[in-house]
A and B are shown apart, each in its own frame.
Chain A
């Protein structure tokens, strides 16, 4: 019994040490900042779902609700390419995380021209509206509609 406890104890200590080493090693490796996933050369409205590397259940719900809204209300614009959707890991893409000053997983709507973001809005309230799909859709839609109508993509 004592021997088993000792083996478990040593295994756990090895796991702790290896994990600490792995975490340090991960950050000392070179990291290239990735480019903005804009894709188009003309003017578009881009809807980004920003998430951390660790994907939680609630975060996946936000992405699902956003995708559903785009596929139902903005089907035509999604097909003709005037609205584009992309999911971005903000812990890997630090350039975008800094540009949007991302706090946590959220939705960002941005207008891009020739691949460059000209104006954007970060939608932090998605967290509070999770259980209220109508209010969630109205909140995200109004941000998209403003960008669609105030120039650029149409």
Chain B
């Protein structure tokens, strides 16, 4: 395998991420990863787990297709048709969790406190399934580039692991870059104006609102068939 093929896989991933098609999910992901302003370790871990989730999906799909378990066209059409419809309500519910609208009320005092701490800790781990599900929700661009360009490239170069992995990293790279810029820009602002704690809370709520808005957008376009 040449460097040219590896670079092509990375470029296809970046091309997927910077196209307007997955913009709604990318904005949600950026706000989700970058919401822990000032917490370098948290942002880094969430970014890494988000990338891992995405690459896991692509490697699994690539392996399934090349092993003959999945038919490229069938699986691509299935995911485009149903996954985007499931994603809308899921994003809204996740946004409500981030805003403490649901989830928190299910527990009682001590349990609640423990669960809240647990949720904060596992909040980072949420990045893994978020990455995996966002990668599964193929929009026309990601489906065209993954199934139509990357898979044929993987078949041609007889590599079903490294290329989907690099592609996954490429799709996550711009998202992580922006998340870092927001997280560290936010920290700078917070320190400069001496309002870091308030800003942290505000960022968390912004992430929740963006998840809900992205969810409403996905529901309106994919379930109700409206176009904007």
Contact of B148 among A53, A58, A106 (CB under 8 A): A106
Q: Within 8 Å of chain B (Cβ to Cβ): is A147? A: no
- Asked if B88 and A127 make an inter-chain contact with CB atoms under 8 angstroms apart, the answer reads no
Q: What is the size category of the interface that chain B forms with chain A?
A: 35 or more
Q: With A15-B219, A58-B21 known to touch, is A91 a contact of B80 (CB < 8 Å)?
A: yes
Q: Within 8 Å of chain A (Cβ to Cβ): is B223? A: yes
Q: Which of B70-78, B125-133, B156-164 contacts A (4 or more CB under 8 A)?
A: B70-78
Q: What is the size category of the interface that chain A forms with chain B?
A: 35 or more
> In the complex, A62 Cα to B89 Cα: how many Å?
30
Write out the residue numbers on chain A whose beta carbons fall within 8 Å of the beta carbon of B71: 101
- Asked if B77 and A127 make an inter-chain contact with CB atoms under 8 angstroms apart, the answer reads no
- Asked if A124 and B80 make an inter-chain contact with CB atoms under 8 angstroms apart, the answer reads no
- Asked if A52 and B92 make an inter-chain contact with CB atoms under 8 angstroms apart, the answer reads no
Chain B window 24-40, contacts with chain A (Cβ cutoff 8 Å), 1 for yes, 0 for no: 00000000000000000
Chain B window 197-227, contacts with chain A (Cβ cutoff 8 Å), 1 for yes, 0 for no: 0000000000000001000100101111101
Chain B window 9-34, contacts with chain A (Cβ cutoff 8 Å), 1 for yes, 0 for no: 00010000001110000000000000
- Asked if A12 and B96 make an inter-chain contact with CB atoms under 8 angstroms apart, the answer reads yes
Chain A window 30-72, contacts with chain B (Cβ cutoff 8 Å), 1 for yes, 0 for no: 0000000000000000000001111111110000000000000
Contact of A9 among B102, B147, B149, B222 (CB under 8 A): B102
- Asked if B21 and A103 make an inter-chain contact with CB atoms under 8 angstroms apart, the answer reads no
Contact of A58 among B76, B89, B141 (CB under 8 A): B141
Smallest CB–CB gap between A133 and chain B, Å?
Answer: 16
> In the complex, A91 Cα to B101 Cα: how many Å?
36
Binding site for B on A (CB under 8 A): 5, 8-9, 12-13, 15-16, 19-20, 22-23, 26, 51-59, 90-91, 97-98, 101-106, 124-128
13 additional A-B pairs beyond A104-B80, A124-B148, beta carbons within 8 Å, are A8-B101, A15-B219, A19-B89, A22-B224, A23-B85, A55-B227, A58-B20, A91-B80, A102-B76, A103-B73, A104-B76, A104-B140, A127-B149
